[in-house]
Structure 1
């Protein structure tokens, strides 16, 4: 009888130990989930703050008008893009890009090269990118539907999915995003790598490689510098 009681006691003890172990693990899992939520919330708050600051800064953005003095400059720079693309990047798009880029103080060839890479050198405004775990990317600037809306909001632009296939809208959105990213990082390596991989993807890339000098960023900057040799007065 005493042995039976001992066995029962042992079984009960094991049950209690197992239950305690499960509770401890459950508690640890909950704590890890809470920590993850806290980190994500902090990142989201930082993003909201940076977006608000960007919107505030845009209030002081200069407006550029086409005049008899500025038109030849825009036209000549645009012609370099049209010729280099064998006419795939249409002249009206190029002139629009050059004008808007100067408004943001961005080298237009940086964005031109970005659009060139994003579309595989064909500048197709109706391009739909390959499917990823985050969905497809759309248009000339290859924005995803989870990214484009908040960039449009930040730029005080309307948003509809169909607008991503409008070349002028796509160019404008890419300029706004590049300008926003450059304001965050203050260098082209991080700016362009973040455009390509996302801001979280940039941090992962830096952790893995120790730098932000991705092949994507290097290619864009190298080619943009090459075009400046043709047009010395590019903004």
Structure 2
């Protein structure tokens, strides 16, 4: 009889302790959840602050809410890579801006970066004037001609002037906008990049002659971009 009572008391004590333990675990989980939420809110606030600062420094609206905290961290990582790869010629601020603009439209920032590298002969010179062609000169970091740049600027929702072709942020914005347009049109990088290089009409002529949209230009950019994977 006494043994049964003792066992009952032990069982009751065990159940009470288990209940208290479960309450403590639940309370701890709640506190961890609150801490995670607070950390997430702090990270989001820091991201918004950083984007606002970049907006003020570049003069371009960046729509801060369109990129997540994680994507902003990736943009920072890309900017470090691009800075190192260019031996400091492509500034970290440029890298942040280019990566952010690319991510907004789901373009690999490395594709956009390597395109600028090829277009400028690895100089990333925003004041570059390309060689004369039968269509005229190409200007700036992304090497746009004056017959192409205005309608791409209109598509990007920004004002155009010839002087802006030498603004690196204007040039990068046009480049990403045009890449987005071409990729949406063709659905693959060989056609999109060859069209960027030769023009839409030039792409048709190239494919007619070669039987493929793959070009040295498109292959080089894609191959080099693959080396930047995070």
TM-score (norm 2): 0.70
Aligned partners of 1:197 and 1:129: how far apart in 2? 14
Q: CA deviation at 1:153?
A: 1.1
2:218 is equivalent to residue 217 of structure 1:
yes
TM-superposed deviation, 1:71: 3.7
Could you tell me how far apart the structure 1 residues matched to 2:71 and 2:186 are?
Answer: 30
Q: Which structure 2 residues correspond to residues 1-235 of structure 1 after superposition, within 5 A?
A: 63-65=65-67, 67=69, 69-228=70-229, 231=230
**Structure 1 unaligned regions, length at least 5:** 1-60
- Cα distance, 1:72 vs structure 2: 2.9
Q: Deviations over 1:128-157 (max 9, x none)?
A: 000111000000000000000011111221
Larger Rg: 2
Tell me, in whole angstroms, the C-alpha distance in 1 between the residues paired with 2:67 and 2:91. Answer: 21
Residues 201 and 63 from structure 1, CA distance in 2 versus in 1: closer, same or farther, beyond 3 angstroms?
Answer: farther
CA contact (8 A) 1:78 1:94 kept: yes
Number of corresponding residues: 168
TM, length-normalised to structure 1 = 0.69
How many Å apart are 1:63 and its aligned residue?
4.8
Counterpart Cα distance in 2 of 1:66 and 1:124:
30
Change (3 A) 1:159 1:205: same
Give unpaired runs (5+ residues) of structure 2.
Answer: 1-62
Deviation at 1:115, TM superposition (A): 0.1
Q: Distance in 2 between matches of 1:73 and 1:184?
A: 27
1:53-80 Cα offsets, whole Å, 9 max, x none, are xxxxxxxx9952474x544322111100
Task: Indicate the residue corresponding to 1:22 in structure 2.
Answer: none
Q: Distance in 2 between matches of 1:198 and 1:170?
A: 17
Aligned mates of 1:112, 1:63 — CA distance in 2: 23
| Post-superposition offset of 1:178 | 0.4
Deviations 1:192-234 (A, max 9, x none): 0000000000000000000000000000000111111xx1xxx
Partner Cα separation in structure 2 for residue 140 and residue 203 of structure 1: 25
Name segments (4+ residues, structure 1) moved above 4 Å.
none
CA contact (8 A) 2:156 2:173 kept: no
Distance 1:183 1:71, change over 3 A: closer
Distance, in Å, in 1 between the alignment partners of 2:129 and 2:68 is 33
Report 1 or 2 for greater relative contact order, CA contacts < 8 Å, sequence distance ≥ 6: 1
Name the SS of the counterpart of 2:66 in structure 1: coil
